[in-house]
């Protein structure tokens, strides 16, 4: 099992969700976050005053999936989230030792 975490632009969430659903991924966790990478924020003007916004709004998607689906999931996220502009985000893949479903006590792949 693997954990796939994707940091994407908020307006790309629906496209990413649809792309993941098409390949058979039915569950995910979504978190609204803020952050920055190489772009180091941006400058905005509000009521004539210019100020720096250091943290940009982002969405973090977390999936726990069976290992054979990982490459397809990563590619689906990459294609759906891509705008070709700076700040499109990142995808992280890490190993998961175990998963336990709280309600039933099922463990491992049965709990996904």
Mean pLDDT by 10 residues, the chain (112 residues): 97 97 94 83 71 84 96 98 92 97 94 89
- Taking the C-alpha atoms of residue 50 and residue 71, their distance in angstroms, rounded to an integer, is 43
pLDDT attached to residue 81 = 97
- Taking the C-alpha atoms of residue 8 and residue 45, their distance in angstroms, rounded to an integer, is 24
Q: Could you tell me where the DSSP H helices lie in 1-112? A: 13-22, 70-81
- Taking the C-alpha atoms of residue 48 and residue 10, their distance in angstroms, rounded to an integer, is 27
pLDDT attached to residue 95 = 97
pLDDT attached to residue 41 = 64
């Amino acid at each position: 099992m693997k954990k796939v975490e994707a940091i994407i632009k908020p307006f790309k969430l629906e496209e990413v969700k649809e792309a993941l659903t098409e390949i058979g991924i039915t569950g995910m966790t979504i978190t609204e976050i803020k952050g920055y990478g190489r772009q180091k924020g941006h400058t905005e003007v509000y009521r004539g005053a210019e100020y720096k916004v250091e943290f940009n709004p982002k969405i973090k998607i977390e999936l726990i999936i069976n290992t054979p689906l990982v490459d397809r999931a990563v590619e689906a996220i990459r294609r759906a989230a891509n705008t070709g502009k700076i700040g499109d985000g990142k995808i992280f893949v890490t190993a998961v030792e175990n998963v336990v479903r709280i309600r039933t006590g099922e463990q491992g792949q049965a709990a996904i």
